[in-house]
Amino acid sequence: MKNLFTLVLGLIIGALIMYFFCCKTENLGAVEITKPRGVITPSEAAILDEQYNSRHALISDSIVDRSDNRSSWWSLEDIRNYLDYAENQSRELGYAMDGLRVYLGAYKTENGVVGYTTMFMVPTSSEIVQDSIKGGSARRAGNGGDIPGGDPLNMGQNGTPPGGNYPQ
């Protein structure tokens, strides 16, 4: 009888330990979701897109002679890989990457056809990590300044069609 009581008590204690262990393990993977500054509503985005129409028409009609590109698309995998790559490269260059800046650009004219507008991202930093990099001179990117030597990300896919408005 004493052995049976010890066995039952051991099973109960073991079950309680497993219960608390499993519950704690599930919460370890939880990620707190925070809404970033600058998130706007779809209707606000539509207004911004509409306000760009006259500029887009000016570029398309007088420069490109066709409906120019209005957007770029990157996969989540490409964005995550780029963030990891850019953060690592920034550290190697002596900077603490703190953001991205998006630029508008344009491809070269080839065979008489004006290149589409494109968007590309560059890593930015507000501070340097090391004071003695490449010759011992301290460099500072500035307040969210582009990281000198940081590789930009381009080659997003054009909108479909290139001149398609928001939302696509």
Give the model confidence (pLDDT) of 10-52 as tens digits.
Answer: 667 766 676 666 665 555 667 888 888 888 888 888 888 888 8
| Residue 79 confidence (pLDDT) | 93
Domain segments of the chain as ranges: 33-68, 73-156
Structure tokens at 152: 């930009």
Range list of H helices, the chain: 2-28, 42-59, 76-93
* Paired strand residues for 100: 123
Q: Is 159:70 a contact under the CB 8 Å cutoff? A: yes
Structure tokens at 153: 């990300």
Q: Is 64:116 a contact under the CB 8 Å cutoff? A: yes
| Residue 35 confidence (pLDDT) | 87
φ, ψ at 158 (rounded to 5°): -60, 160
| Residue 142 confidence (pLDDT) | 54
Cα 99 to Cα 147: distance, rounded to the nearest angstrom: 10
Give residue-wise pLDDT tens across range 81-133. 999 999 999 999 999 999 999 998 888 888 988 888 888 999 999 876 555 44
Cα 69 to Cα 59: distance, rounded to the nearest angstrom: 10
| Residue 132 confidence (pLDDT) | 45
Neighbours of 60 (CB within 10 A): 19
Cα 10 to Cα 93: distance, rounded to the nearest angstrom: 58
Q: CA quadruple 12, 18, 19, 20: dihedral positive or negative?
A: positive
Structure tokens at 59: 């570029």
- 74 by DSSP, 3-state: which? coil
